[in-house]
Amino acid sequence: MRAEIIAVGTELLLGQIVNTNAQYLSQGLAELGIDVYYQTVVGDNADRIRAAIETARGRADLLVFTGGLGPTLDDLTRDVLAAYLGRAIVTHEPTMRKIEELFMGRGTAFVESNRRQAHLVEGATPLRNDTGLAVGNALSVDGTHYLLLPGPPREMKPMFENDGRTWLRGALGEANALHSVMLKFSGIGESMLEDLLIDLIREQNDPTIAPYAKEGEVAIRVSTKAGNAEEAARKLEPTLQEIRSRTKGYLYAEEDIPLEAAVVRLLEQKRMTLTVAESCTGGMIAAALTTVPGSADAFLGGVVSYSNAVKHRQLGVPMELLEGEGAPGAVSPETAAAMAEGARAIADADFSLSATGVAGPAGSEGKPVGLVYVGLAERGKPTRVEKLQLSGDRQGIRIRATKRALHLLWQSLSGQE
């Protein structure tokens, strides 16, 4: 099946928002084994929406719309599609009751246009909206499938994941469903990982192997089409085992979670605690760890020691290390170790991570931009320091230093050093 994703909204054409929906749906459709050939963005204009539908019908079997299902007169997607197909607009009563109850509950005046959010193209299957009001639409006419989803990602995503995916599976036939496993790696670059797996990637057929990259992390999706989960697992397992054996020390999860979540999970399993001492990363390691819900049990907190005075007073880093002739300086393996050890001792934690370096744009202490030391102090073990020479801009260097520090701890926690 060939799909086209059509985002409707003038705010996209003005550059006020980024079309993240297109990426999300492209991934979701790929997982279902549906090829996306075009993505289109069109404004809130009936003639141009209709023209986009006509163009898309000539080159796709599935048209997935986002946006234009809201209450205002600018929200045109449903009306234009109904007119194009020569169908009436009907009301989805459960949604209408939900809208009326909501406004009664608020005691505010009911705005008539809100009723538009309960509208369906005649004959369409309604798609439940758990996080908003506008009902989704799904229908098949003359061999073309139409899926109408809301524009706000927090409404669109749950609707697609639930009723949308179910309806598409029905339209496709279950045997076609794609099953996949996401493998997440850290501490290794995309090209080095590809080198390790180059023969598997070259010879891939079924399962397929698709690499993804984000700053500081890489991922591989291994996918196969199968009738059910057991058959899929049987087809995927030999490839997964081969990849696992080649990527020890880097493969931190077999699901799509960030490295910080894997670290927090291991700490919780072992009932161990962590603190941090951050200089160049300036709070980013702590901020990453605290994105994980429930991280408070394992992560005690830490110190952002941007100035030498804070490094000395709050972490106990000796001034002889930091300043004066012949001192190693703030950006040195000695200071990284002293920061990690000081933070661990103060909080009496099992582990402590530190980072000190030159994030740029200017060098510091005569040291080059990108030079970073990350330290790991562990109760009862010698402290380790890793020297990094990172490239990229200020924020890129800080992100990569954060990930490398977390990776150092993950290796220790998982015994994959």
Which residues from 265-324 bind a second copy, rule CB under 8 A?
275-276, 278-287, 289-291, 293-296, 299-307, 309-311, 313-314
Q: Which is nearer to a second copy, 192 or 296 (CB)?
A: 296
What's the one-letter identity of residue 277? A
Site string for a second copy, 47-76 (x = CB under 8 A): -x--xx--x---x-----------------
* Cβ contact 117:91 at 8 Å: no
Per CB under 8 A, does 212 bind a second copy? yes
Which x/- pattern, by CB under 8 A, does the window 233-262 give for a second copy? Answer: ------------------------------
318 vs 334: CA distance, rounded Å: 10
Closer to a second copy by Cβ: residue 207 or 360? 360
HEC secondary structure over 105-141: HHCCCCCHHHHHHHEEECCCEEECCCCCCCCEEEEEE
Q: List Cα–Cα distances, 135 to 22, 81, 179, in angstroms.
A: 20, 15, 28
* Least CB distance to a second copy at residue 142 (A): 22
Provide the minimum distance between the beta carbon of 34 and a second copy in the complex, in angstroms, as a whole number: 11
Which residue, 17 or 104, is less far from a second copy as judged by CB?
A: 17
Residue number with CB closer to a second copy (139 or 168): 168
Cβ atoms of 218 and 212 closer than 8 Å? yes
Respond yes or no on whether the N-terminal peptide bond of residue 361 is cis (omega within 30° of 0): yes
Q: At what angle do helices 333-347 and 308-315 cross, to 10 degrees?
A: 40
**Contact criterion met (CB below 8 Å) for 38 and 56:** yes
Which 1-40 positions form the footprint of a second copy (CB under 8 A)? 12-20, 22-30, 35-40
The single residue among 42, 63, 80, 408 that binds a second copy, judged by CB under 8 A, is 42
Residue with Cβ nearer a second copy (36 or 385): 36
Rounded to whole angstroms, the Cα distance separating 193 from 211 reads 9
Contact pattern from residue 345 through residue 384 relative to a second copy, giving x for each residue in contact according to CB under 8 A and a dash for the rest: -xx-----------xxxx----------------------
Number of residues that make up the chain:
417
What CA–CA distance (Å, rounded) separates 34 from 32? 6
* Burial bucket for residue 276 (CB in 10 Å: 0-12, 13-18, 19+): buried
Applying CB under 8 A, what is the total number of residues that bind a second copy?
76
Residue-wise burial string across 84-94, b where 16 or more C-beta atoms lie within 10 A, e elsewhere: bbebeeeebee
Measured from the CB atom, the residue of 139 and 343 that comes closer to a second copy is: 343
CB of 15 to a second copy, least distance (A): 3
Nearest distance, CB of residue 90 and a second copy, angstroms: 30
Pattern 391-410, binding to a second copy, x per CB under 8 A?
A: ---xx--x------------
CB of 304: closest distance to a second copy in angstroms? Answer: 4
